[in-house]
Protein backbone atom coordinates (compact mmCIF):
# COMPACT_ATOMS: atom_id res chain seq x y z
CA UNK A 1 0.00 0.00 0.00
CA UNK A 2 1.18 3.52 -0.79
CA UNK A 3 1.93 5.51 2.35
CA UNK A 4 -0.43 8.28 3.37
CA UNK A 5 -0.01 11.89 4.43
CA UNK A 6 -2.36 13.78 6.73
CA UNK A 7 -4.17 16.82 5.37
CA UNK A 8 -3.29 19.75 7.60
CA UNK A 9 -5.91 20.73 10.15
CA UNK A 10 -7.99 17.59 9.67
CA UNK A 11 -8.24 13.89 10.46
CA UNK A 12 -8.06 13.00 6.74
CA UNK A 13 -5.10 10.99 5.45
CA UNK A 14 -4.67 10.50 1.69
CA UNK A 15 -2.27 8.30 -0.22
CA UNK A 16 0.71 10.35 -1.34
CA UNK A 17 -0.02 9.34 -4.92
CA UNK A 18 -3.50 10.18 -6.15
CA UNK A 19 -5.25 9.62 -9.47
CA UNK A 20 -6.48 12.66 -11.40
CA UNK A 21 -9.84 12.04 -13.05
CA UNK A 22 -10.07 14.86 -15.60
CA UNK A 23 -10.02 12.23 -18.39
CA UNK A 24 -12.63 9.95 -16.83
CA UNK A 25 -15.68 9.85 -19.11
CA UNK A 26 -18.99 8.02 -19.10
CA UNK A 27 -21.24 6.82 -21.89
CA UNK A 28 -19.43 4.74 -24.50
CA UNK A 29 -16.14 5.40 -22.66
CA UNK A 30 -17.38 4.15 -19.28
CA UNK A 31 -15.79 0.72 -19.53
CA UNK A 32 -12.32 2.10 -20.28
CA UNK A 33 -12.65 4.69 -17.52
CA UNK A 34 -13.69 2.02 -15.02
CA UNK A 35 -10.63 -0.05 -15.96
CA UNK A 36 -8.34 2.90 -15.18
CA UNK A 37 -9.95 3.49 -11.78
CA UNK A 38 -9.70 -0.22 -10.96
CA UNK A 39 -6.05 -0.26 -12.08
CA UNK A 40 -5.32 2.64 -9.75
CA UNK A 41 -6.95 0.77 -6.86
CA UNK A 42 -4.98 -2.38 -7.66
CA UNK A 43 -1.77 -0.33 -7.64
CA UNK A 44 -2.47 0.93 -4.11
CA UNK A 45 -3.84 4.39 -4.94
CA UNK A 46 -6.64 5.41 -2.61
CA UNK A 47 -7.06 9.10 -3.47
CA UNK A 48 -9.07 10.30 -6.47
CA UNK A 49 -9.24 13.93 -7.61
CA UNK A 50 -12.23 15.08 -9.63
CA UNK A 51 -14.43 18.13 -10.29
CA UNK A 52 -17.93 18.81 -11.66
CA UNK A 53 -16.40 19.97 -14.96
CA UNK A 54 -14.07 16.97 -15.45
CA UNK A 55 -14.80 14.40 -18.12
CA UNK A 56 -17.30 16.76 -19.76
CA UNK A 57 -19.26 16.66 -16.52
CA UNK A 58 -19.22 12.87 -16.22
CA UNK A 59 -16.17 12.21 -14.04
CA UNK A 60 -17.96 12.44 -10.69
CA UNK A 61 -20.74 10.14 -11.85
CA UNK A 62 -18.30 7.51 -13.07
CA UNK A 63 -16.40 7.61 -9.78
CA UNK A 64 -19.70 7.18 -7.97
CA UNK A 65 -20.57 4.16 -10.09
CA UNK A 66 -17.18 2.47 -9.79
CA UNK A 67 -16.22 3.34 -6.21
CA UNK A 68 -19.67 3.56 -4.66
CA UNK A 69 -19.32 4.03 -0.93
CA UNK A 70 -15.85 2.44 -0.66
CA UNK A 71 -14.65 3.41 2.80
CA UNK A 72 -10.88 3.18 2.29
CA UNK A 73 -10.63 5.84 -0.44
CA UNK A 74 -10.51 9.62 -0.22
CA UNK A 75 -12.09 11.85 -2.83
CA UNK A 76 -11.38 15.48 -3.64
CA UNK A 77 -13.81 17.50 -5.69
CA UNK A 78 -14.22 21.21 -6.36
CA UNK A 79 -16.48 24.21 -6.62
CA UNK A 80 -16.02 27.12 -8.99
CA UNK A 81 -16.00 25.90 -12.60
CA UNK A 82 -19.49 25.00 -13.73
CA UNK A 83 -20.50 21.54 -14.89
CA UNK A 84 -21.13 21.60 -18.67
CA UNK A 85 -24.66 21.14 -19.90
CA UNK A 86 -25.87 17.75 -21.10
CA UNK A 87 -25.83 18.78 -24.76
CA UNK A 88 -22.10 19.51 -24.79
CA UNK A 89 -21.49 16.30 -22.85
CA UNK A 90 -23.06 14.31 -25.70
CA UNK A 91 -21.23 16.23 -28.44
CA UNK A 92 -20.24 13.85 -31.22
CA UNK A 93 -17.34 16.13 -32.20
CA UNK A 94 -15.86 16.03 -28.69
CA UNK A 95 -16.24 12.26 -28.56
CA UNK A 96 -14.57 11.83 -31.95
CA UNK A 97 -11.68 14.06 -30.88
CA UNK A 98 -11.05 12.05 -27.70
CA UNK A 99 -11.41 8.64 -29.34
CA UNK A 100 -9.61 9.23 -32.63
CA UNK A 101 -7.81 12.57 -33.07
CA UNK A 102 -6.15 12.85 -29.65
CA UNK A 103 -4.75 9.27 -29.64
CA UNK A 104 -3.49 9.81 -33.20
CA UNK A 105 -1.63 12.96 -32.17
CA UNK A 106 0.05 11.19 -29.23
CA UNK A 107 1.52 8.72 -31.73
CA UNK A 108 2.66 11.56 -34.00
CA UNK A 109 4.64 13.86 -31.67
CA UNK A 110 6.14 15.81 -34.57
CA UNK A 111 2.72 16.71 -35.95
CA UNK A 112 1.43 17.55 -32.48
CA UNK A 113 4.41 19.83 -31.83
CA UNK A 114 3.91 21.71 -35.11
CA UNK A 115 0.19 22.09 -34.41
CA UNK A 116 0.90 23.59 -30.99
CA UNK A 117 3.47 25.94 -32.54
CA UNK A 118 0.93 27.04 -35.14
CA UNK A 119 -1.71 27.72 -32.50
CA UNK A 120 0.82 29.68 -30.44
CA UNK A 121 1.72 31.78 -33.48
CA UNK A 122 -1.93 32.74 -33.91
CA UNK A 123 -1.96 34.48 -30.54
CA UNK A 124 -0.98 38.15 -30.49
CA UNK A 125 1.39 37.68 -27.56
CA UNK A 126 -0.36 40.19 -25.31
CA UNK A 127 -0.88 39.13 -21.71
CA UNK A 128 -4.27 37.80 -20.71
CA UNK A 129 -6.46 40.34 -18.91
CA UNK A 130 -6.76 39.83 -15.17
CA UNK A 131 -9.83 37.79 -14.22
CA UNK A 132 -12.89 39.65 -13.03
CA UNK A 133 -13.38 38.38 -9.51
CA UNK A 134 -16.83 37.41 -8.36
CA UNK A 135 -18.39 36.48 -5.06
CA UNK A 136 -18.59 32.81 -4.09
CA UNK A 137 -21.90 32.78 -2.29
CA UNK A 138 -22.87 30.38 0.50
CA UNK A 139 -25.99 29.15 -1.31
CA UNK A 140 -23.96 28.37 -4.43
CA UNK A 141 -21.30 26.46 -2.47
CA UNK A 142 -23.91 24.33 -0.73
CA UNK A 143 -25.89 23.70 -3.93
CA UNK A 144 -22.79 22.61 -5.84
CA UNK A 145 -21.65 20.33 -3.02
CA UNK A 146 -25.06 18.70 -2.87
CA UNK A 147 -24.88 17.93 -6.59
CA UNK A 148 -21.36 16.52 -6.31
CA UNK A 149 -22.33 14.28 -3.39
CA UNK A 150 -25.28 12.93 -5.35
CA UNK A 151 -23.12 12.11 -8.36
CA UNK A 152 -20.37 10.60 -6.19
CA UNK A 153 -22.93 8.53 -4.21
CA UNK A 154 -21.46 9.75 -0.92
CA UNK A 155 -22.64 11.65 2.11
CA UNK A 156 -19.42 13.68 2.31
CA UNK A 157 -16.24 14.46 0.40
CA UNK A 158 -12.85 14.29 2.07
CA UNK A 159 -11.39 17.37 0.39
CA UNK A 160 -13.37 20.29 -1.10
CA UNK A 161 -11.35 22.78 -3.14
CA UNK A 162 -12.12 26.13 -4.73
CA UNK A 163 -11.45 25.52 -8.43
CA UNK A 164 -9.23 28.24 -9.96
CA UNK A 165 -9.64 30.65 -7.02
CA UNK A 166 -8.17 33.62 -8.93
CA UNK A 167 -11.69 34.19 -10.25
CA UNK A 168 -13.26 34.64 -6.79
CA UNK A 169 -13.36 37.07 -3.91
CA UNK A 170 -12.88 34.67 -1.02
CA UNK A 171 -14.56 36.70 1.68
CA UNK A 172 -15.67 35.92 5.24
CA UNK A 173 -18.98 34.46 4.03
CA UNK A 174 -17.21 31.89 1.84
CA UNK A 175 -14.76 30.99 4.60
CA UNK A 176 -17.51 30.57 7.20
CA UNK A 177 -19.49 28.38 4.78
CA UNK A 178 -16.57 26.01 4.32
CA UNK A 179 -15.91 25.94 8.07
CA UNK A 180 -19.58 25.17 8.69
CA UNK A 181 -19.45 22.29 6.19
CA UNK A 182 -16.50 20.84 8.11
CA UNK A 183 -18.43 21.13 11.39
CA UNK A 184 -21.46 19.48 9.79
CA UNK A 185 -19.34 16.57 8.54
CA UNK A 186 -20.14 17.27 4.86
CA UNK A 187 -16.43 17.80 4.04
CA UNK A 188 -13.26 16.71 5.79
CA UNK A 189 -10.90 19.51 4.74
CA UNK A 190 -10.84 22.37 2.26
CA UNK A 191 -8.48 24.61 0.36
CA UNK A 192 -7.56 26.00 -3.06
CA UNK A 193 -6.93 24.27 -6.41
CA UNK A 194 -4.86 26.24 -8.94
CA UNK A 195 -4.08 25.23 -12.49
CA UNK A 196 -0.86 27.25 -12.27
CA UNK A 197 2.25 27.30 -10.13
CA UNK A 198 1.72 29.40 -7.02
CA UNK A 199 3.85 31.17 -4.45
CA UNK A 200 1.71 33.55 -2.40
CA UNK A 201 -1.89 32.41 -1.93
CA UNK A 202 -4.91 33.62 0.04
CA UNK A 203 -5.20 32.34 3.59
CA UNK A 204 -8.12 30.01 2.88
CA UNK A 205 -8.22 26.43 4.11
CA UNK A 206 -5.36 24.06 4.84
CA UNK A 207 -4.61 22.53 1.42
CA UNK A 208 -3.01 24.04 -1.69
CA UNK A 209 -3.22 22.06 -4.93
CA UNK A 210 -1.12 23.55 -7.72
CA UNK A 211 1.10 22.86 -10.70
CA UNK A 212 4.52 21.39 -9.96
CA UNK A 213 7.64 23.06 -11.26
CA UNK A 214 11.03 21.52 -10.60
CA UNK A 215 12.75 24.92 -10.60
CA UNK A 216 10.37 26.48 -8.05
CA UNK A 217 10.81 25.82 -4.31
CA UNK A 218 7.75 24.82 -2.33
CA UNK A 219 6.60 27.74 -0.15
CA UNK A 220 7.13 27.04 3.54
CA UNK A 221 3.90 27.10 5.57
CA UNK A 222 1.72 24.67 7.46
CA UNK A 223 -0.62 23.85 4.59
CA UNK A 224 -0.56 20.50 2.80
CA UNK A 225 0.71 20.72 -0.79
CA UNK A 226 -0.69 18.54 -3.56
CA UNK A 227 1.17 18.76 -6.87
CA UNK A 228 -0.20 18.12 -10.35
CA UNK A 229 1.49 18.40 -13.74
CA UNK A 230 4.58 16.56 -12.48
CA UNK A 231 4.98 14.69 -15.77
CA UNK A 232 4.35 17.77 -17.93
CA UNK A 233 6.55 20.20 -16.01
CA UNK A 234 9.71 18.44 -14.99
CA UNK A 235 9.89 14.86 -16.23
CA UNK A 236 12.06 14.25 -19.26
CA UNK A 237 12.79 10.82 -20.69
CA UNK A 238 13.68 10.58 -24.36
CA UNK A 239 12.96 6.85 -24.31
CA UNK A 240 9.36 7.15 -23.17
CA UNK A 241 6.42 6.85 -25.56
CA UNK A 242 2.73 7.67 -25.47
CA UNK A 243 2.08 4.31 -23.79
CA UNK A 244 5.16 4.27 -21.57
CA UNK A 245 6.25 6.80 -18.96
CA UNK A 246 9.76 5.37 -18.74
CA UNK A 247 11.52 5.20 -15.38
CA UNK A 248 9.13 7.66 -13.76
CA UNK A 249 8.47 5.89 -10.45
CA UNK A 250 11.81 6.92 -9.02
CA UNK A 251 11.23 10.49 -10.19
CA UNK A 252 7.96 10.66 -8.25
CA UNK A 253 9.68 9.07 -5.26
CA UNK A 254 12.37 11.76 -5.33
CA UNK A 255 9.83 14.61 -5.36
CA UNK A 256 8.01 13.18 -2.36
CA UNK A 257 11.25 12.55 -0.47
CA UNK A 258 12.15 16.21 -1.02
CA UNK A 259 8.66 17.30 0.09
CA UNK A 260 7.88 14.89 2.93
CA UNK A 261 4.39 16.21 3.69
CA UNK A 262 3.27 16.62 0.09
CA UNK A 263 1.30 14.43 -2.30
CA UNK A 264 1.10 14.09 -6.09
CA UNK A 265 -1.85 13.52 -8.39
CA UNK A 266 -1.39 12.33 -11.96
CA UNK A 267 -3.48 11.20 -14.89
CA UNK A 268 -2.90 8.23 -17.17
CA UNK A 269 -4.51 6.64 -20.19
CA UNK A 270 -3.39 3.04 -19.61
CA UNK A 271 -3.11 0.66 -16.68
CA UNK A 272 0.56 0.13 -17.60
CA UNK A 273 1.31 3.81 -17.00
CA UNK A 274 -0.34 3.66 -13.58
CA UNK A 275 1.78 0.65 -12.65
CA UNK A 276 4.97 2.43 -13.75
CA UNK A 277 4.27 5.40 -11.51
CA UNK A 278 3.42 3.30 -8.43
CA UNK A 279 6.09 0.59 -8.68
CA UNK A 280 8.58 2.64 -6.64
CA UNK A 281 6.09 2.78 -3.77
Count CB neighbours of 150 within 10 A. 12
Would you call 186 helix, strand, or coil by DSSP? coil
CA torsion sign for 244, 75, 141, 90 is: positive
Region 92-112: mean pLDDT is 52
DSSP label of 236:
-
Q: Which domains does the chain have, with CATH numbers?
A: 4-106+131-278 (3.20.20.100)
d(CA 17, CA 274): 10
DSSP per residue, 2-14: --EEEPTTSS-EE
Region 257-272: mean pLDDT is 94
Mean pLDDT of the chain: 86
pLDDT at 180: 98
pLDDT digits (tens, 9 = 90+) for 220-250: 789 999 999 998 766 766 566 666 677 888 8
Beta strand pairing call for 207-211 and 187-193: parallel
> Do 136 and 169 meet the contact criterion of CB atoms below 8 Å apart?
yes
pLDDT digits (tens, 9 = 90+) for 6-51: 999 999 999 999 999 999 999 999 999 999 999 999 999 999 999 9
Per-residue pLDDT band for 181 (boundaries 50, 70, 90) equals: very high
DSSP per residue, 14-50: EESEEEE-TT---GGGHHHHHHHHHHHHHTT--EEE-
The highest-confidence range among 68-77, 108-117, 235-244, by mean pLDDT, is 68-77
* pLDDT of 75 strictly over 60: yes
Per-residue pLDDT band for 69 (boundaries 50, 70, 90) equals: confident
Higher model confidence: residue 255 or residue 89?
Answer: 255
Per-residue pLDDT band for 81 (boundaries 50, 70, 90) equals: very high
Helices 30-42 and 271-278, axial angle in degrees (round to 10): 20
Per-residue pLDDT band for 132 (boundaries 50, 70, 90) equals: confident
Higher model confidence: residue 213 or residue 219?
Answer: 213
Higher model confidence: residue 158 or residue 133?
Answer: 158
Higher model confidence: residue 134 or residue 214?
Answer: 134
- Taking alpha carbons only, the member of 165, 207, 220 closest to residue 76 is 207
Share of the chain above pLDDT 90, in %: 67
d(CA 247, CA 76): 28
- Is 1 exposed, middle or buried (CB count within 10 Å of its CB: 0-12, 13-18, 19+)? exposed
234 torsion bin: left (phi>0), alpha (psi -120 to 50), beta (else): left
Higher model confidence: residue 115 or residue 134?
Answer: 134
Greatest C-alpha distance within the chain: 52
Amino acid sequence: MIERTSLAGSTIAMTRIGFGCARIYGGSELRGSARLIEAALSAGIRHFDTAPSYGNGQSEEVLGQVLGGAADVTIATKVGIERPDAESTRSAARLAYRQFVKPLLTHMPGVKSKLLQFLASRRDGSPAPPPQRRKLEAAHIRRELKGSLKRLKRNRVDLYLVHEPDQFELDDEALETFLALVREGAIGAFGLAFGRTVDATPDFGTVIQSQYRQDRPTPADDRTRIFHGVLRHGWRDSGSTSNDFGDVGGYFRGILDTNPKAAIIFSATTAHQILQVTTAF
